[in-house]
Structure 1
Amino acid sequence: MEDDFGKALRQTAELMDRELREFLPDNNGLEKQLYNAMRYSVLSGGKRLRAFLVIQAADLFGVPRLHSTRVASALEIIHSYSLIHDDLPCMDDDDLRRGIPTVHKEFDEATAVLAGDALQSLAFEIIGDAKTHSSAEVRVQLVSKLAYAIGVRGMVGGQTMDIYAEGDDIDIVTITRLQQLKTGALITFACEAGAILGHASPPQQQALKAYAHDLGLAFQIADDILDTEGSAEELGKATGKDDAAGKATFVSLMGLDEAKIHARMLVDQAIEHLEPFGPKADLLRHAARFAIERRN
């Protein structure tokens, strides 16, 4: 029987698919190739965990789903843009994503670059729209936080570190910072966005930010573990590429058993940060456990 968390996560994924289709209509003009590539990337499935975090964090403060769903959609669109660019030959050079060809393989490299660019712009268009929130101040905060999360002090900065750092130069402190930027920044934004929408108090905002910080690291360690133990069939993409390339990971630096222990410790910490919210945060607690128990 599906548990409450599994049901809520599935319902979020179904909601996102409906909403995202509305933001990405069919187009038969000269831009058709671009629209097809955008839809191909965004609507190719995925757990929608980042969207789930936005909605659940906002639910803590009674935010109408109309608002949180739009922000969640924008974040999923940003995530899709990042995956398109991450898979390019000049980046990680991956042929598969979620069990299907990556965008540059299904279309071409130029279309992949443009699709990523267009998705990034679309996300900010959605957040900046008055439909997302009646308060211009709230929208500005969301735009500012998202721009920070995906920029040089966030996701793009982390990707740059990942490209140029040599395996021998990486220690546990460096890889922790790298992954806080590359992976953790969007997860942190997801939780902060819910707090911003809900006009949360500073202590409440800090609690959610601390939760997201630990969750993001645990999520990345779990990814490294899956890359070691999982199969390409389970993950829908090639495995073992970092190890083959001599790139440092949490597993290579800590060892498999220690990495698992550290991930569990981070999840326990993440859950502790949610104490001020009581039972209302139970689905977020389950999300933290899911981060290290998932198989893809």
Structure 2
Amino acid sequence: MAAHRTITRTEAVGGDVPRLAARGITVGYGGRTVIDGLDVEIPSGVVTTVIGPNGCGKSTLLRTLTRLLKPAGGAVVLDGEDIAGLRTRDVAKKLGLLPQAPVAPEGLTVSDLVARGRHPHQSWLRQWSSDDADIVRRALAMTGVADLADRPVDSLSGGQRQRVWISMTLAQGTDLLMLDEPTTYLDLAHAIDVLDLVDDLHESGCTVVMVLHDLNLATRYSDNLVVMREGSILAQGHPRDVITAGLLEEAFGLRAMVIDDPVGDRPLIVPIGRTHVQVNWASKQGS
């Protein structure tokens, strides 16, 4: 396996100390090691997307960073502290997680679901207040679902539901959002809609970490890519510095051309199969 290389740009990592980092973590399931001795830093104030082939450890990494999984070795550091030593309530105040394909209780309304984001801030000394209600209203407005507040969550479209779940994480009052495959099961139009929302949240000051399968959406909407293979980081950095034909072959076993995106400032990946390839292009490659 190639050595982990870190390639950065000023706009990708900035100059701040990262709020979230993994230090030599080892994670596994049922006696099988998935991640072994991995180090990664999440740059503050940018959108980081983790990509890699199926089974490479992307979601395992995200779940470990959010303390849903406990590493067998190493540590996750949140704001300079070992996350394992923090109270669950304190972690929830700093970090919001949208897991894969979340399910709301039947009949629960949008406003009630989003209000659950305020639970980490409640206690027997501090009950629901007008401040909590204002935060929920702002979260609904930021994600464009205020008009759906009285609708049952299970009556919404896939794209609407994802916006509502993101709204709930915003209601937690955190500016560090972790999204595990937020476009799963969405058609392309709804996926773009959700990722445009993620971009808006980033512009408003949020640090976002996502796992995505669509490589071109990952490059389009990310400032920092983390490329994984077999539980290790193969490359990290700005999409323009990271995405090459050689890396795609190495990480995914994918033959592809990498060209300039005609509507953006990121690279565009053009996969190459055995068929439907122009003869003149194929002959050039063979010469």
TM (norm. structure 2) is: 0.30
Q: Which has the higher contact order (CA 8 A, sep 6+)?
A: 2
**Bigger radius of gyration among the two:** 2
TM (norm. structure 1) is: 0.29
Bigger proportion of residues as helix: 1
